[in-house]
Amino acid sequence: MKAQSVLVSTALGVGLGTLLLPAAALAQTIVSPATTPVGGTVVLTATTCNPNAGDAIFRVTGPNRDQNVRSTTAAAGGGLSAELFTAGFTLGTYTVTTTCGDGSSGGSATFTVTPIGAAPAGGGGDDSTTGLLAAGGALAGAAAIGATVMVRRRRRAAAPVA
């Protein structure tokens, strides 16, 4: 009976990991750089939006913003991108949420506006999928450990007693 419960736990872990990892990998919005001074420019890129499906809408929300930025520009690596000039932004963290032309989600990312002269160089990324990737990896790891334990128990049970 114990082997069945381990097998069910393993199957459940593999199933959940399989569902979470592709969802995290599909929708991706990138903001580069992740930190910019007031008056700087950030590039918003939705890598999974198909330019043939219509414009991408980047919704920028934060301390003093709730605006949409429309993009029809094809990004070099695929998807759609737009440039956002941060003049008039207050200091703080802003969230960019993308909707593709076909109505699907393009993911979300954040960037921070800092005082002039205080922004370190660095690329932006998609912070929203980090938790999904970690959860999917943990589930896949638990499934692998459960399968290993089950195989070892079966080998011990099948071994002849001397």
Helix (H, G, I), strand (E, B) or coil at 95: strand
- Residues 13-22 pLDDT 10s: 545 455 444 4
Q: What are φ and ψ of residue 57, in 5° steps? A: -110, 120
Helix (H, G, I), strand (E, B) or coil at 42: strand
- Residues 18-73 pLDDT 10s: 544 444 445 699 999 999 999 999 999 999 999 998 899 999 999 999 999 998 88
Does this model's pTM top 0.85?
A: no
Q: What are φ and ψ of residue 25, in 5° steps? A: -80, -25
Decide: 42 and 111 in contact? Cβ < 8 Å: yes
